[in-house]
Structure 1
């Protein structure tokens, strides 16, 4: 590498790898007869130098600097690769089209218009000489890693981050996005800083588990809410019918038992809700049908039980009390094995009696 003294004769001779006032030249973009556009290691965007002073270039660069102030304010000093390329294209036009006033004006206007279209920075998560991680105002995570620090480990970290980010966008409810993506951005910054640390790499897995549990808990809430609504409607209707005395005899007892069966099924759902495992890939329609089927089976079990009592097949001691019939209905709905085992027992007894 050449030192500052040798390069002091002419800055136009700068090349990649040279040291200029303690900083290394990362790349030279354009070199003209009287100007050079280059980037120093650690800088966010390009720099330039020119020897033959020109009022048109001075004015264009003054306007460009005003745009950079606006950029710094909107993006809180964090400049992405996209913005860097926009600035570089504008500088190239200023020097390359110095005789074309309209081209220079159009390039600066185009830069400002594109900057206005970009979403501003909401918060800077991490920023150093190696990388930057920030969140935009629409809760997107953006990162920029210097080429000199782009290692296979860093590339793997970026890949894991993109996969988890896409998964979270697809699965998480919008109300959870802001908090989750702040956590993800912080984890991603730590992963970039210590790409080889196994403890840091495990953070992504913890966040993936958080997404799974959040989605699963949301589905559980909907599952229990639907079960409660269906139970409330069925029990309410059966109570009104029972109070109206529209039916009598077996039908009146059947209404009580069905109501008890539905209540028993709902109690079973609540009692086992901690152990319910719902895949995040299940649809709302499937969850709704699971609720309907579970509550419906409770009612059916209650109906079968009252039939067994009235016919004298089983539980005949409970045949004279509506309260006892309700209790039996609750038990039949709560226990998923009681009625199937009763049916199986009746079937086996019938087989034994065949000649």
Structure 2
């Protein structure tokens, strides 16, 4: 609260450090013969004092106040340094160029145009005497810390925040950005206000883990979707051909075995999906391609196993029914070592039989 002595002071002589109605003057921007433009500690933009009666200035200030209302609505009371400078320039022009109506009109029009160009505030995360953190309409996190409160800890927090923000922008799908950046902004505001709180540090760590897990989960979805699509199309087509009885004998059994191999490979892919992790050495396309190759190999293993059964080389007990052949195909497709070991065994026996 101010004292009665404040009322008797000449406000035109206001200077930095003065106390007016309980608030300290932070800086004096412009001083004229009948006006002064200044800023108070804690205020977002400049204030002014005008001693004369001038209808031109009154009208200009009325129009300026309309712009200030627009600013307050669009930016939700969060005045950034850019907006503060725009307001200061407009006020300076109003008082300095009071005899130049065109200059005043141009300054107010420029302020309006700049307001329209600037991105508005979507939500205010934190705002107090030390700092402001908000999210813009295009989902960017913006912050401002008053000069008096900037410390090495603040710099470290901003650096950590920037690293995590860049990581999220690069890795997260766009649809995940709004929710994630609200969480990040809240954690960042908490970090700026409390550097020693272990819970705040834990939140940053959790957000970093969230990015990794989200990217891994999206990759798993693509991995399994491709595997399911290929398996569904192939097995569906094979079943249709099998039911049509167009083929008979070995071809019919081969269709069953190959279908079993594809199903076995699909089961193997489901098991593998639990261990998918993001690696800097593997691209998403490579991981998905590995899935396609694995399913394809399952079909090849099924074809090899029916050939082994038909030739009497191995698995002859399964040559009794289509159900047994399907089961053998599933086992061969699921196991990555069964068929390679069978081929290796045949090769070794062949080498031994050579003179």
Give the TM-score, by structure 2 length.
0.91
Give distance in 1, aligned partners of 2:28 and 2:138. 35
Q: CA RMSD in A?
A: 2.4
Q: 1:163: which partner in 2?
A: 163
Asked if the contact 1:216/1:279 (under 8 Å) is kept, the reply is: no
Q: Kindly state the Cα deviation for residue 206 of structure 1 after the two structures are TM-superposed.
A: 1.3
Q: 2:47: which partner in 1?
A: 47
Which of 291-300 and 131-140 deviates more?
Answer: 131-140
Matched, 1:71 2:96: no
Q: 1:201: which partner in 2?
A: 201
Alignment of 1:141-160 (within 5 A): 141-160=141-160
User: Structure 2 vs 1, CA of residues 349 and 27 (structure 1 numbering), >3 Å: closer, same or farther?
Assistant: farther
User: Structure 2 vs 1, CA of residues 17 and 354 (structure 1 numbering), >3 Å: closer, same or farther?
Assistant: farther
Q: Kindly state the Cα deviation for residue 243 of structure 1 after the two structures are TM-superposed.
A: 2.4
Give distance in 2, aligned partners of 1:305 and 1:312. 11
Asked if the contact 1:4/1:20 (under 8 Å) is kept, the reply is: no
Q: Kindly state the Cα deviation for residue 287 of structure 1 after the two structures are TM-superposed.
A: 4.0
Give distance in 2, aligned partners of 1:204 and 1:86. 35
Q: 2:296: which partner in 1?
A: 296
Q: Kindly state the Cα deviation for residue 222 of structure 1 after the two structures are TM-superposed.
A: 1.4
Q: Kindly state the Cα deviation for residue 58 of structure 1 after the two structures are TM-superposed.
A: 2.1
Q: 2:348: which partner in 1?
A: 348
Asked if the contact 1:216/1:280 (under 8 Å) is kept, the reply is: no
Q: Kindly state the Cα deviation for residue 344 of structure 1 after the two structures are TM-superposed.
A: 2.2
Q: Kindly state the Cα deviation for residue 347 of structure 1 after the two structures are TM-superposed.
A: 2.5
Give distance in 2, aligned partners of 1:277 and 1:344. 32
Which of 28-37 and 139-148 deviates more?
Answer: 28-37
Q: Kindly state the Cα deviation for residue 279 of structure 1 after the two structures are TM-superposed.
A: 4.3
Q: Kindly state the Cα deviation for residue 71 of structure 1 after the two structures are TM-superposed.
A: 1.5
Q: Kindly state the Cα deviation for residue 187 of structure 1 after the two structures are TM-superposed.
A: 0.7
Gaps in structure 1 of 5+ consecutive residues: none
Q: 2:92: which partner in 1?
A: 92
Number of residue pairs matched by the alignment: 353
User: Structure 2 vs 1, CA of residues 352 and 13 (structure 1 numbering), >3 Å: closer, same or farther?
Assistant: farther
Which of 196-205 and 153-162 deviates more?
Answer: 196-205
Asked if the contact 2:269/2:291 (under 8 Å) is kept, the reply is: no
Gaps in structure 2 of 5+ consecutive residues: none
Give distance in 2, aligned partners of 1:282 and 1:13. 68
Give distance in 1, aligned partners of 2:106 and 2:346. 90
Which of 190-199 and 331-340 deviates more?
Answer: 190-199
Which of 296-305 and 70-79 deviates more?
Answer: 70-79
User: Structure 2 vs 1, CA of residues 56 and 188 (structure 1 numbering), >3 Å: closer, same or farther?
Assistant: same
Q: Kindly state the Cα deviation for residue 218 of structure 1 after the two structures are TM-superposed.
A: 1.2
Q: Kindly state the Cα deviation for residue 146 of structure 1 after the two structures are TM-superposed.
A: 1.2
Give the TM-score, by structure 1 length.
0.91
State the Cα deviation string for residues 6-38 of structure 1 (Å, max 9, x = none). Answer: 996433333333333322222222233333222
